[in-house]
């Protein structure tokens, strides 16, 4: 090792999920929306003045912030936007989790939480899910330097009822509690934003990547008390004043504007999910009750990894986690009805083959 | 203060530069390019498949990385891309500057360097420019935990000759040396990239915001040894795997592809700068020899702040820094010939008025 290498920050490299790109593939592995962005997004795209890209975008992101404030029924000083919810969440870890006490998050949860904690040198402890993968609220009633959990949780797809979310917040008046709602629009349940009037230590994070079909544009946001948002902006402006590109601001605002399309596509995905639950049950799969745009399914007679690989050979991509407790599950994104039919056709064939029996 | 506020990271809020947006304004305050992005960028915009925005972009950013590698004559494992060069530089501070020894940068330089150092808790010392604002290479020959300087420097616009850049690197084999070349394309001098073959502790950072007319798209990049780039990617993937949007990747690659347009607009800006030097001298201004797309000018008989305010009233925006040693200077971005003529017309009137005499 050379001397100049000694002071480099070493992290356990996080490997981004597979982004296959074969023709005719069925991509159900990264919880993308099977439907295109709202028609208004395409329109905004066509109307964007390309020459104006020579200018810096608005650092306050007012166009998008105002659209979100209106939609969420909060003040413009209560919204923070970032380059996808990963950017927002990473900023939150950096801004809010500076205690010597451990930050708490579920042991089975979004895999980036421990990565950010390691990156920023934040102590953390995980809270145990129960045997049915449910978040146990009492696990968050211990001393901590902050709390974060996804709701619905990933990769389990399970929703924590709002009264339980509120109890966790109410039990932790001295901590900042972040509810990561990437999938809340598919839950048929209210956002924790409803609780913002009562709790100024609550921050709710959402994304445009799932229910708004804008993964490729990188837009996420947080809603909280003006004080929390100000602290986040202070750190963001110290990092990079212009994180949001002009297209991200204009297309993001156009996506928010089209509430009808958002409702329609979200409803379609939920309907496909309900049909998919039936189909998977018929094939012998079991799964926690899904509240997101994916199902976390296991087959008592088939090895999950073998199924994952066999599906891949058929150009059907789902997500497999080679981790304790969840290594017999597949996380299956809800696609279109046609995509799901193709998946079920392949699974029907596969689960009938004894070669996939894992013997437990 | 509430208990939950105690562990929040407090930073001295960085205030982003003014982004005025009045009709008919002449905007010469943030070193933007007066010309639109290359025609190929508009074409790529028109051809972008909006429905595919529902998918995550390529986390490896291959389209853009490959275009840059080819253009810079380096390997694909030698290029890192980010959300503007501010994102790239912030990642560099976080990744490379973890020594207990101070990082060194010039005392008059890019104002974000001390902001990042504070944000990440990095010790730093500034090196003194000489009386004519020149970087003094010997100032970097002391013990340090890393080195960074812009070349040409900002806001002075002064170029450090390549032999001096090389001497700084050669004197610091145990440090990582970052040369921040946001403005190098206007310098008529080679990039420090030429030195990469000899020094694997060198990292060169550039941006699409100036010579590529793409401020609004947020694209910056670093070129260095494969090892440095790998460390940067490890940290980036741990922060946010998908920082670069699909439009940033495709429009960025399109901008790189049009070398002729790049050469033409860069040449035009340099020609306008040469004419502007003459005009400013005639008006009595003095300035260090400019090598960027801006001139750092002072008038012996006129107060810089008063000039700045008076220009603003006429909707001509330049940049003023209320800081020791440079508070009698204006940083004037090179616009089109017509914009510069309007500026000189206004200045001619202003410098003749005794009210602006500052008496020194």
Among the listed residues B19, B33, B27, B30, the one whose alpha carbon sits nearest the alpha carbon of residue B213:
B33
Q: Which residues contact B291 (CB under 8 A, 6 or more apart)?
A: B152, B157, B158, B159, B183, B186, B187, B188, B189
Burial letters A215-227, b for 16+ CB under 10 A, else e:
bbbbbbbbbbbeb
Complex-level ipTM: 0.95
Q: Is the pLDDT of residue A69 over 70?
A: yes
**If you average pLDDT over residues A293-300, what whole number do you get?**
97
Alpha carbon distance A277, A52 (integer Å): 48
Alpha carbon distance A172, A149 (integer Å): 14
Residue A294, sorted as left (phi over 0), alpha (psi -120 to 50) or beta, turns out to be beta
DSSP A76: G
Cα nearest neighbour of B85 on chain A = A240
Count of CA atoms in the C-beta half-sphere (13 A) of A208: 34
A245/B247 touch (CB, cutoff 8 Å), yes or no: yes
Residue B155 preceded by cis peptide, ω within 30: yes
Q: Is the pLDDT of residue A298 over 70?
A: yes
A53 → closest Cβ in B5, B7, B213: B213
Alpha carbon distance A136, A107 (integer Å): 11
Chain A residues closer than 8 Å to B83 by CB: 83, 240, 243, 245
Least confident stretch, B8-17, B200-209, B346-355? B8-17
Whether A327 and chain B come into contact, CB under 8 Å, resolves to no
Chain B residues closer than 8 Å to A30 by CB: 56
Q: Is the pLDDT of residue A354 over 70?
A: no
| Adjacent-strand bridge partners of A98 | none
Count of CA atoms in the C-beta half-sphere (13 A) of A309: 9
Alpha carbon distance B112, A242 (integer Å): 13
Tell me whether residue B359 is exposed, middle or buried, using C-beta atoms within 10 angstroms of its C-beta: 0 to 12, 13 to 18, 19 or more: exposed
| Adjacent-strand bridge partners of A165 | none
Q: Give residue-wise pLDDT tens across range A306-341.
A: 999 999 999 999 999 999 999 999 999 999 999 999
Residues of B numbered 177-236 whose beta carbons fall under 8 angstroms of chain A's beta carbons: which are they?
Answer: 200-201, 209, 213-218, 227, 231, 233-235
Q: Give residue-wise pLDDT tens across range A156-182.
A: 999 999 999 999 999 999 999 999 999
Whether B173 and chain A come into contact, CB under 8 Å, resolves to yes
Provide the pLDDT for residue B336. 98
- Are A206 and A184 in contact by the 8 Å Cβ rule? The answer is yes
B181-to-A8, B86, B189, B221 alpha-carbon distances in Å: 22, 12, 11, 10
Alpha carbon distance B186, B210 (integer Å): 9
Confidence grade of residue B250 (pLDDT, cut at 50, 70, 90): very high
Number of cross-chain residue pairs from A and B with Cβ atoms under 8 Å apart:
264
Alpha carbon distance A358, B199 (integer Å): 54
- Are B148 and B169 in contact by the 8 Å Cβ rule? The answer is no
Q: Give residue-wise pLDDT tens across range B307-341.
A: 999 999 999 999 999 999 999 999 999 999 999 99
**If you average pLDDT over residues B219-238, what whole number do you get?**
96
Provide the pLDDT for residue B11. 85
Q: Which residues contact B94 (CB under 8 A, 6 or more apart)?
A: A9, B116, B120, B235
Chain B residues closer than 8 Å to A205 by CB: none
Confidence grade of residue A4 (pLDDT, cut at 50, 70, 90): confident
């Amino acid at each position: 090792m050379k001397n100049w290498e000694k002071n480099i920050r070493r992290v356990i490299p996080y490997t981004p999920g597979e982004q296959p790109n074969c023709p005719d593939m069925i991509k159900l592995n990264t919880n993308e929306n099977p439907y295109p962005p709202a028609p208004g997004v395409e329109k905004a795209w066509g109307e964007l003045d390309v020459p104006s890209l020579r200018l810096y975008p608005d650092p306050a992101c007012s166009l998008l912030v105002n659209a979100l404030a209106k939609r969420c029924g909060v003040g413009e000083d209560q919204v923070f936007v970032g380059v996808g919810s990963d950017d927002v969440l990473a900023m939150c870890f950096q801004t809010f989790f500076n205690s010597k006490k451990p930050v708490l998050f579920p042991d089975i949860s979004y895999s980036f939480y421990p990565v950010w904690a390691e990156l920023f040198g934040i102590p953390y402890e995980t809270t145990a899910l129960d045997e049915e993968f449910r978040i146990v609220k009492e696990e968050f009633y211990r001393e901590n330097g902050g709390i974060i959990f996804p709701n619905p949780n990933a990769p389990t797809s399970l929703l924590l009822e709002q009264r339980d979310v509120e109890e966790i917040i109410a039990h932790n008046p001295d901590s900042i509690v972040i509810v990561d709602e990437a999938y809340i629009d598919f839950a048929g349940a209210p956002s924790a934003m409803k609780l913002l009037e009562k709790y100024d230590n609550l921050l709710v994070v959402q994304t445009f990547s799932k229910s708004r079909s804008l993964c490729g544009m990188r837009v996420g946001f947080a809603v909280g008390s003006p004080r929390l948002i100000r602290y986040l902006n202070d750190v963001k402006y110290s990092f990079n004043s212009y994180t949001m590109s002009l297209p991200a601001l204009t297309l993001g605002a156009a996506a928010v504007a089209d509430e009808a399309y958002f409702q329609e596509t979200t409803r379609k995905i939920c309907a496909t999910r309900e049909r998919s639950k039936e189909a998977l049950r018929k094939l012998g799969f079991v799964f926690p009750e899904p509240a997101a745009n994916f199902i976390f399914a296991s087959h008592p007679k088939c090895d999950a990894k073998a199924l994952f690989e066999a599906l891949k050979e058929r150009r059907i991509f789902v997500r497999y986690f080679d981790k304790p407790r969840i290594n017999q599950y597949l996380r299956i994104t809800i696609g279109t009805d046609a995509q799901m039919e193709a998946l079920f056709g392949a699974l029907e064939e596969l689960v009938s083959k004894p070669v996939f029996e894992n013997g437990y």
